[in-house]
Amino acid sequence: MNQAIDNIEIIRERRAMGMNTSKFIVWLFIVTIVMLFAALTSAYIVKQSDGNWLNYNLPGMFWITSTIIVVSSITMQLALKSAKEDRFNGLKVYLILTTILGLAFLFGQYQSWKQLVEMDVYFVGNPAGSFLYVLTGLHAVHIISGLVFLLIVIGSSFKLKIHSKSLIRIEMCTTYWHFLGGLWLYLFLFLKLNH
């Protein structure tokens, strides 16, 4: 009886917040990431004005990784649509495609770093290179966290725990994945305009 009363209280608290607690945590995490990258890009601009800034071209691979991340956002949205329509095979296929594209993005970022080394842009030396490695490296770490989230959602989809009446996990994962795609596009544009 006490357990039932406690469960009712939890439901009332969630309704009072107006948002699922798990979704709120994901949004809070996103806000934290936004603040981190806002601080880093602001520091980039301040440090750039010091004058000893290395001029270099951005790796051509950034264009490819940008395309990959946009396509992965599309496949993630299609996975969500499939879940809403209880198309379980489509859900699984699109989640797996999104995961493969996420891995391809990481491989592309690794190739970008190899291109930077070929251009004599290193992590240590000039702040321009350091900032580039930090910005892209931190984004890659967040992509890895997104891939872990995707693997959890894939596991749930194979257990048929994701469907039109149970969308919380895939909605949170989709939100986070779209955010990561948008963050990369912001970073790429920022670096294009400020390197």
**pLDDT above 80 (res 51):** no
Question: For the purposes of burial, counting CB atoms within 10 Å of the CB of 141, is it exposed (0-12), middle (13-18) or buried (19 or more)?
Answer: exposed
Specify the pLDDT at position 41.
Answer: 94
- Average pLDDT of the residues in 134-158: 96
pTM for this entry: 0.86
Sign of CA dihedral 112, 96, 177, 139: negative
The pLDDT of 34-42, averaged and rounded, is 96
Task: Give exposure, 153-173, as e/b (b: 16+ Cβ within 10 Å).
Answer: bbebbeeeebbeeeeebbbbb
Cα separation of 77 and 83, whole Å? 10
What average pLDDT does range 107-123 have in this prediction? 93
Q: Is the pLDDT of residue 195 over 90?
A: no
| Long-range CB contacts for residues 125-130, cutoff 8 Å, separation at least 24 | 125/54, 126/52, 126/53, 126/54, 127/47, 127/48, 127/50, 127/52, 127/53, 127/54, 128/48, 128/53, 128/54, 128/55, 128/56, 128/195, 129/54, 129/56
The structure tokens listed for 34 are 């936004």
**Stronger pLDDT, 80 or 10, i.e. the higher one:** 80
Over residues 83-105, the pLDDT tens digits come to: 999 999 999 999 999 999 999 99
The radius of gyration of the chain from alpha carbons, rounded to an integer in Å, stands at 20
**Token pair belonging to 89:** 């095979």
Where do we find the tokens 């990561």? 180
Angle at 65 between CA 64 and CA 67, to 5 degrees: 65
For residue 47, what are the contacts with CB-CB under 8 A and spacing of at least 6? Answer: 53, 127, 131
Residue-wise pLDDT tens digits, 9-31: 655 555 555 668 888 888 999 99
Does pLDDT of 165 surpass 60? Answer: yes
The predicted pLDDT at position 66 comes to 97
Identify residue 105 by its one-letter amino acid code: F
